[in-house]
Structure 1
């Protein structure tokens, strides 16, 4: 019994000591908190709004149709144009300069003085009148005898070669044939060759003469018909 009381007394002392410690701690906290200078934060400043004026773009005016435009009741009077009493000469004053496309010579310019008096006109010389009429070459023997039917060869007759040959002869100053040329063929080369050969051998001419009466080379044109003999 005595043991129990002693234990309870010891427990009470421990509890009292604990209470004292707790109270001391609480007092320290209170004292420290009160000693601190605590300044509460200022409340936020309320937002103040402002009215801002915005200039809106002006609407594009719609053009008025021409037919809807009405003339003004009091039109603006226009002054009459000014008309001077006399015409105004706007020609610029100063010397008149004449231009030319002729190039200026490089050296000094000399002026030629023409003699006064009548002007003599020199006529070109008159060509001399021919004292002799030119004469063409002409045959001295009959052209019909240059080529005859007796000149036909038997082979040409058997083959019935016929035709007309047109020829041109070149006549020398001695009256003899220098050259012969077929201008139109008979169609048979043997007849054409015989024509020039016989005419060159048998034809005789009087030589051609010029305006001075001198003998010159001339020409003669003729034709022969080759026909089969009867």
Structure 2
């Protein structure tokens, strides 16, 4: 059985633009611009460990395996300000409700994140999109 996990996109608060004062040389302006960008950019939530370990071949629902069900499930993961998965919804179904449900169940149970940070460095809730693949074939 083959299971895959793909990180699709993470989101956090939108970036803000600020003007750089035209003082000093070009190098000073570039340095100031870089510092301001670093201070203003939110930090996205980051999975702790490998998301592929959240959903493993040992988790394959026996009924789905017996029926030869397989497919890709894309889920929207809600992450609270502590990094805990607080919700999971199917964004794109595998075509098999058991696999979709099992994916969200496992992501909610096992998923852990470093929380997203606001531009001011405060931990904030965020969302992440992730794709997991279920394959009933294991080469035997």
- Give the TM-score normalised by structure 1: 0.43
Matching residue of 1:213: 121
* Aligned-partner Cα distance in 1 for 2:120–2:40: 6
* Aligned-partner Cα distance in 2 for 1:201–1:152: 15
Instruction: Establish whether residue 227 from structure 1 lines up as the match of residue 135 from structure 2.
Output: yes
More strand by share: 2
Aligned pairs, number: 105
User: Which runs of structure 2 are paired with 1:1-230 in the superposition (5 Å)?
Assistant: 131-230=39-138
- Displacement of 1:154 in angstroms is 2.3
Unaligned runs of 5+ in 2: 1-17, 21-35
RMSD: 1.9
Unaligned runs of 5+ in 1: 1-125
Q: Which has the larger radius of gyration?
A: 1
- Give the TM-score normalised by structure 2: 0.69
Query: Which structure is richer in relative contact order (CA contacts within 8 A, separation 6 or more)?
Result: 2
SS in 1 for 2:72: strand
SS in 2 for 1:186: coil
Structure 1 runs (4+) deviating above 4 angstroms are 126-130
* Aligned-partner Cα distance in 2 for 1:185–1:152: 16
- 2:61/2:98 contact within 8 Å kept: no
